[in-house]
């Protein structure tokens, strides 16, 4: 899954929390909290093993077919091609596994208002998210508090906001 990163402004000005273009009046914020998105590493390993079993089966089938077609004393061009395809698929699966296993834990800044919960910021830096939560809570307690920060925000998958009953969402394999 492709992730996109950008820098957004997070600021409190005149009792309003601004996260990019989204505004949250401080008096409506019930809670700010951090939520972790932990990569599914077990899922990645299982997907890798399934893919490798499929590659081995396809390789064995291709080898059996090429042995029946060509002369058994020398490898044919078709057998060499099949072996290269199997090797390429094997390497591709290893690359996918390494990419999935190297995904960092992401930390969401979740703003809860009286009506809903919204993910305001997603970051790989837990200290940055905790610092933002502290600043927001301080601004709620102190009417004169103002601050402005630039925060790296990570976008993953589709953002779906749902309200009401009987909604179904999209599950993202992170």
Check residue 20 and give left, alpha or beta (phi > 0: left; psi -120 to 50: alpha).
left
Torsion angles phi and psi, residue 108, rounded to 5: -100, 140
Task: State the chain's mean pLDDT as an integer.
Answer: 84
pTM above 0.85, yes or no: no
Structure confidence at residue 149 (pLDDT):
92
| Tens of pLDDT, residues 5-29 | 889 999 999 999 999 888 999 999 9
Structure confidence at residue 154 (pLDDT):
86
Share above pLDDT 70 across residues of the chain, in percent, rounded to a whole number: 83
| Tens of pLDDT, residues 33-61 | 999 989 999 999 999 999 999 999 988 88
Tell me the CATH number for domain 3-39+105-156. 2.30.29
């Amino acid at each position: 899954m492709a992730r996109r990163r950008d820098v957004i402004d997070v600021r409190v000005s005149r009792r309003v929390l601004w996260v990019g273009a989204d505004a949250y009046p401080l008096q409506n914020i019930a809670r700010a909290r951090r939520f972790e998105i932990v990569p599914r590493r077990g899922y990645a390993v299982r997907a890798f093993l399934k893919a490798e079993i499929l590659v081995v089966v396809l390789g064995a089938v291709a080898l059996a077919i090429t042995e029946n077609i060509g002369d058994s004393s020398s490898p044919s061009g078709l057998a060499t091609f099949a072996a290269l395809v199997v090797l390429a698929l094997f390497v591709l699966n290893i690359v996918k596994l390494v990419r999935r296993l190297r995904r960092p834990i992401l930390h969401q800044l979740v703003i809860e208002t009286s009506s809903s919960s919204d993910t305001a910021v997603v970051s790989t830096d837990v200290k940055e998210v905790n610092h933002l939560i502290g600043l927001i809570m301080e601004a709620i307690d102190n009417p004169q508090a103002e601050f402005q920060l630039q925060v790296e925000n990570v976008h993953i998958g589709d953002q779906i906001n749902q309200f009401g009953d009987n909604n179904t969402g999209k599950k993202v394999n992170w």
